[in-house]
Amino acid sequence: MLSEKTVLIGITGGIAAYKICELIRMFKRHNANVRVICTPNAMNFVTKLTLQNLSQNEVGIEEFEIPDFKPEHISYADEADIMVIAPATANTVAKIANGICDNLLTSVVSAFKKPVIIAPAMNCNMWENPIIQENIQKLYKHGYEIVEPEAGFLACGYNGTGRLASLDKIFDKTVEILNSKKKLAGKKIVITAGGTIEDIDPVRYISNYSSGKMGLALADEAHKLGAETILITTKDVQKSYKIIKVKSASEMQTAVENEFNNADCVIMAAAVADYRVKNHSEQKIKKTDSDTITLELVKNPDILKELCAKKTTQIVVGFCAESENLIENAKEKIQKKGCDYLIANDISRKDIGFSSDYNEVIILDKNGGQKRLEKASKNEIARQILEVIYE
């Protein structure tokens, strides 16, 4: 399965380090060449001799041990096909996210241009720390694969999320990436993101709280899987795939329609304003002595419904953001719109609502099926959504 593949394992100073001995054996049983790098603190939990015997290779620890006159961080980076950092402590996660290269492991990561899997493990309060979460999102943004920790009893005595993901999960993710055939290669996927903006005058507008994070995560994951990815968004984004910046619902409709005919899938993750001002002012509206002001609103085009009405071979996916009666409203919407899938999420929850880096959704399909995706990062939810669509 892994013949002629070199897996570089990075071990940091967490109690879960002892588990990585078995992970090394799993890779060796599948004929991988395994190289190991440890941070100095990892040696408090596992010995160099043990790791050398299991991997059948020298173990790198100190930054300036330079055999054969090769800078080690370049040598390790050149030799390996993939790097797996497990367990990754909060300290190491922070260093990688901010480009700090103060030991051999972090220097190798900085020089590594192939896939990197990071499996964090730490106290649950550390994992929930907003700074740690910002670092995790930063790593997601730059293309790192994160195998998120699991909930359970922790070595520190707490019970919560922070335990190293199962070795099977880490192993399977590594194999999946190494043997990846870019599952969506040859597919064109169009994704919308962000809240549309409807001008009142040159100063004021009508919009909503959508951050665009879910749509961006979907675009990132589609791109990773090899799809020709088009992101139509109201947000300022720079990516290696095609970005079309729009503002209003009308602009978004035009952009989507221009890409629709030869698309394989359209995912309408954007929060499109239902109404716009009928006659927006070209000049700033001045405050008067009146205590009230009246704005006449007219309906915006229903982009999702119109796409569904004219689709031929395209898969059309809608989103349903609800603050109450989630399932009932979602069932009604998928029937009314006619889309193939509808992603329903509860925006009343602060932990998964607007601007959160996490989500929890229910996927409805046109045949009446439902699948719940439990709370996870938006990148992980995006990956699972694409799996459902193209399973």
* Number of residues that make up the chain: 391
Q: If DSSP codes are grouped into helix, strand and coil, which group holds residue 232? A: strand
3-class secondary structure per residue, 33-84? EEEEEECHHHHHCCCHHHHHHHHCCCEECCCCCCHHHCCHHHHHHHHCCEEE
Task: Check 38, 101, 156, 265 and give the catalytic one.
Answer: 156
Q: How far does Cα 22 stand from its chain's mean position?
A: 28
Residue 182 near residue 222 (C-beta atoms within 8 A)? no
Structure tokens at 253: 């409709």
The position carrying tokens 């939990």 is: 45
Between the two ends of the chain, the Cα-to-Cα distance in Å is 22
Q: For the sheet with 116-120, list strands across it.
A: 59-60, 33-38, 6-11, 82-88, 116-120, 145-146
Cα 299 to Cα 278: distance, rounded to the nearest angstrom = 9
Give yes or no: 156 in active site. Answer: yes
Q: In the chain, which ranges are continuous DSSP H helix?
A: 20-29, 48-55, 72-79, 90-97, 104-111, 124-128, 130-141, 167-178, 213-224, 249-260, 303-310, 326-337, 378-389
Exposure class string for 96-122: b at 16+ Cβ within 10 A, else e = bbeeebebbbbbbbeebeebbbbbbbb
On the CB side of 228, how many CA atoms lie within 13 Å of its CA?
9
Bond preceding residue 149 cis, omega within 30 of 0: no
CA dihedral over 111, 221, 9, 127, signed as positive or negative: positive
| Catalytically active residues, by annotation | 156
